[in-house]
Amino acid sequence: MDEKLMTNTWFLIGLDDTDAPDGMCTTWLGAVLATLLEKSGMKVFSSRLVRLNPTIPYKTRGNAAISLCVRGDPDYAFSIASDLVEKFAALSCENTHPGIVVSLQKPPADFYWKAVQNHCRIDEARDFLARYAFRFLGYKLGRGLIGATAAVCSEFPDFTWEYLAYRHQSRLKITREVDAESLRLSEDLTRPHTWDTWDPDLKGPVCVPHTPDPVLFGIRGDSPFSVAHAVSVVRSEGVDMARIWKTNQGTDAHLVLYEGSLLTEGISYLIRGRVHETPKTGKGGHVSFPLMASDQKIPCMAFEPTKKFRDFVRSLRPGDEILVAGSYLKNTLNLEKMYIFSVEPYIIARAPICPSCKKRMTSAGSGKGYKCRRCGNRATTPEQIIEKRTISSGWYEVPPGARRHLSRPIARGHVDPDSSSLPSSRKMEH
């Protein structure tokens, strides 16, 4: 390609796996890259924060990659990106394996969908890039090529926005200073156009990280204007840099329609079925029940961090028809939300009261009715009690503090429980 033309070329650049548990952030590095490209005279048209499969075991925190749509010099952009990775990425961490991808075309979205709904191998990414990438580079094992590739070819049939504010480098080891009351106010003023800023159950913010990375806070919403408005009332320490990212967060992009086959470890599903047994509260406060779907008995669990959501789960009864969403891990579906189609009266059968002794009878054996231990009276039919239901039809979700990045919050509006119309209606591609 002519060198002159290369300086005015449309291209996509992706980054992933630059962070570590004790610091750094791929979105920060992406924001720095975008800033440097703009300062060099290039035009950045789009900045994407792309969340991938939340169950991947080697993710650092939220399994996020970034991509930028740029007009300028792809070679120079690649050079800047590689310099930034080598300077700032947590290369000393044994689990950090950065990847950089530059493409002069929008590759097919199939790789993105597999990365967000399933599992991809590094060699798959390299083979894919050999066909579609202009340049790419993997550091160490090159695992970041998976996320960088997925980000470059990402497809957003549904999308949201996030304003990310970043700290001054000199303050990274100092406790973040963000006024909690101003965050609560920002959500009150912009609700329902922003969400997951404040958790009413925890009575505190959930948009401020507790990890030692450059992010100061993040505001999520349905438009760049909504998040910017929310940020305008936030009081905090000085912001070094900020960027508004277009993202697949809050879209349910990770969910796969369950079609009756055996469930696969590490896949997130949307499953319609009936409650098989009354939910039980186990050790640690976790609530579980089996769901019958397509002749499969699927263990479902609402873990303790889901707080009040567990009360809704406890209110389920055998026979209730529900739609559940969650990740299948260790042979259990970890619930993110559920839809209850209808709530029917639930009849509880109990041993009857003896008319003579006024004491409750006991079972006389299978199929033999009931017997009073005191006087010997017998009865053939149980006492039937109609339980008052404390739950109604509709959507129920975990609180903001327990919500996965990709899970669509109810605040984004009503979603038809007919699985074919949900944002995640595409089938998983193997």
> Does residue 420 carry a pLDDT above 70?
no
- The whole-number average pLDDT for the span 293-305 is 96
Q: H/E element holding 116?
A: helix 110-117
Q: Can you state the angle between helices 122-132 and 144-152, rounded to 10 degrees? A: 40
Percentage of the chain modeled with pLDDT above 70: 95
- Min mean pLDDT across 87-91, 194-198, 366-370, 424-428 is at 424-428
> Do 284 and 412 lie in a common domain?
yes
> Do 227 and 360 lie in a common domain?
no
> Do 225 and 90 lie in a common domain?
no
CATH assignment at residue 270: 2.40.50.1010
Last residue of a domain, one of 223, 247, 271: 247
What pLDDT is recorded for position 347? Answer: 84
Q: Is residue 427 part of a domain?
A: no
CA distances from 111 to 52, 103, 120, 206, 216 (A): 11, 14, 8, 31, 32
Check residues 343 and 417 and name the one with the higher pLDDT.
343
What pLDDT is recorded for position 381? Answer: 86
What pLDDT is recorded for position 23? Answer: 84
What pLDDT is recorded for position 115? Answer: 97
Which two tokens mark 222? 């349905």
Check residues 387 and 405 and name the one with the higher pLDDT.
405
- The whole-number average pLDDT for the span 391-395 is 93
Tokens 């079609």 correspond to what residue? 259
> Do 267 and 401 lie in a common domain?
yes
Whose CA is closest to 398, among 303, 285, 272, 266? 303
Percentage of the chain modeled with pLDDT above 90: 79
> Does residue 335 carry a pLDDT above 90?
yes
**How many helices (H) and strands (E) would you count in the chain?**
9, 24
Q: Is residue 426 part of a domain?
A: no
> Does residue 32 carry a pLDDT above 80?
yes
State yes or no: cis peptide before 192, omega within 30 of 0: yes
- The whole-number average pLDDT for the span 173-183 is 95
Q: Tally the residues of the chain.
A: 430
- The whole-number average pLDDT for the span 2-6 is 52
> Do 350 and 338 lie in a common domain?
no
> Do 25 and 110 lie in a common domain?
yes
Q: Is residue 429 part of a domain?
A: no
- The whole-number average pLDDT for the span 282-298 is 95
- Min mean pLDDT across 39-48, 60-69, 329-338 is at 60-69
Q: Is residue 315 part of a domain?
A: yes
E strand segments, 129-277: 135-138, 160-166, 194-195, 198-199, 204-205, 215-221, 241-247, 255-257, 268-275
Which two tokens mark 86? 């080598």
Task: Report yes or no: 194 and 205 within 8 Å, Cβ to Cβ.
Answer: no
- The whole-number average pLDDT for the span 168-179 is 94
Whole-number average pLDDT of the chain:
92
Burial 34-47 (b: 16+ CB within 10 A, else e): bebbeeeebebeeb
Which residue range is the domain that position 9 belongs to?
3-152
Whose CA is closest to 270, among 251, 285, 286? 251
Q: How far apart are alpha carbons 159 and 412 in whole angstroms?
A: 11
> Do 368 and 260 lie in a common domain?
no
> Does residue 2 carry a pLDDT above 80?
no
> Do 134 and 271 lie in a common domain?
no
> Do 197 and 65 lie in a common domain?
no
- The whole-number average pLDDT for the span 327-331 is 97
> Does residue 426 carry a pLDDT above 90?
no
Determine the residue type at 147.
G
> Do 99 and 144 lie in a common domain?
yes
What pLDDT is recorded for position 424? Answer: 45
Count structural domains, the chain: 4
> Do 337 and 226 lie in a common domain?
no
> Do 279 and 165 lie in a common domain?
no
Taking the alpha carbons at both ends of the chain, their separation in whole angstroms is 36
CATH assignment at residue 75: 3.30.70.2200
Q: How far apart are alpha carbons 15 and 102 in whole angstroms?
A: 9
- Min mean pLDDT across 37-46, 67-76, 419-428 is at 419-428
What pLDDT is recorded for position 418? Answer: 67
pLDDT digits (tens, 9 = 90+) for 193-230: 999 999 998 889 999 998 889 999 999 999 999 999 99
- The whole-number average pLDDT for the span 127-145 is 97
Query: For residue 222, what are the β-bridge partners?
Result: none
Pairing between β-strand 321-329 and β-strand 268-275 as defined by DSSP bridges:
antiparallel
pTM of the full predicted structure? 0.90
Pairing between β-strand 99-103 and β-strand 135-138 as defined by DSSP bridges:
antiparallel
E strand segments, 276-329: 280-281, 287-293, 296-302, 321-329
